[in-house]
Amino acid sequence: MTALALAPTTPRTAHRAPGIRWLFRLHRPALYAWLGLVLVLALALVWLWGPLTDSAAVAWRQYRDECANGGPCRYDQDTIVRYKDVYAYTTAALTGLPFLVAAWAGASLFGRELEHGTAQLAWTQSLSPTRWLATKLAVPAVLVTAGTLLLVALHRLMWSAGDGRIDTAKSWYDDMTLHTNGPTTVAFALTGLAGGALAGLLLRRTLPAMSLALGLVAVVRVLTSQVLPHLWPAVTRVTSLADGYGGSGLGVDSGLVTSTGAHIADPGCGPTGVVSGCDKVYAGLDATGFYSTYHPESHFWPLQLAATALVLVVAGLTATAAFLLLRRRTATSSAA
């Protein structure tokens, strides 16, 4: 009989502990830690959104007015550095939330309970295996979605408040900013939760399950960043050899355009007139201009929604695999 074996001779108690109450009681420290983390990050993002962005914008205006003209350079450098640091820390923390959820789900929510027999005890006394898994996925999913969605919304508001006012503000297509400004971060967090469930049921050990869940989120995030530019039709802009590349946004492809309209690789010579000899290089390639295929800022939401839907499908398939694995193993254990 395996470690997931049920005790069929043990009757279920007449007074069943409600699944949600049992879950909150068992993982109360994690709940408090999550609420505290969301509160701290929310306060930091609100500070960035209002007072710190305004102060940094004033400091940058001072820099442009007083330092660019060669006169005495007096501006509030500390505020600019503070804005940059707080932005970096909060963005990194929000980027890491899905990994934190995956680590907790794999190690504590599922792996440790299966390793120590807490889950098996719940199955014999209060909860069926399916209800146990459904409760342990649904309740954290609500809390994770609500908390992460709040932080993503605040991050988007904060970034928008500084866009065009802070000279060193991150562009919308910066990888970390792109995801923390939209719902893909929420989808990554739900993937971490589902991945933790599957890893815990598959390995039934705390540290291996945590490692597998973290690896799953990392793979999903990397692959999403790679396929995201191809989830929506991009814009192609052609410019002359003298002007160089044109257009600004999330890059997809770039190179040279020939007289026949074909796209070829750029030898890296640069615009004509900047580096001597480029005219001959381009003439030998029959190049007539540069092309740049990219996504402008207006594509932010189509890309975000398409990527979010894709990641949510992965999360759903992962959760389904966890239910199927649990059903197979508990059925085998009962038959044994």
Helices (H), the chain: 19-26, 28-47, 53-66, 77-104, 113-116, 118-125, 129-162, 175-180, 184-203, 206-227, 278-285, 300-335
pLDDT band per the 50, 70, 90 thresholds, residue 219: very high
Residue 137's nearest CA partner among 105, 108, 115, 113 is 105
- Strands 250-258, 235-240: pairing is unpaired
Query: 294: which strand partners?
Result: 235, 251
Residue 184's nearest CA partner among 298, 311, 91 is 311
* Per-residue pLDDT tens digits for 79-133: 999 999 999 999 999 999 999 999 999 998 888 888 888 777 777 776 788 888 9
What integer best gives the mean pLDDT of the chain? 88
238: which DSSP letter? E
From CA 280, how far away is CA 305, in angstroms rounded? 45
Q: Compute how many other C-beta atoms are within 10 angstroms of the C-beta atom of residue 327.
A: 13
pLDDT band per the 50, 70, 90 thresholds, residue 6: very low
**Residue 127 phi/psi, 5° resolution?**
-130, 140
- Strands 250-258, 287-295: pairing is antiparallel
Q: Is 82 exposed, middle or buried (0-12, 13-18, 19+ CB in 10 A)?
A: middle
Domain boundaries, the chain: 30-231+299-335, 235-298
Instruction: Give mean pLDDT, residues 270-295.
Output: 89
* Per-residue pLDDT tens digits for 240-276: 998 889 888 999 999 999 999 999 999 988 888 777 7
pLDDT at 113: 83
Residue 203's nearest CA partner among 107, 267, 298 is 107
- b/e map 105-131, b = 16+ CB within 10 Å: bbbbbbbbbbbeeebbebbbebbebee
pLDDT at 208: 93
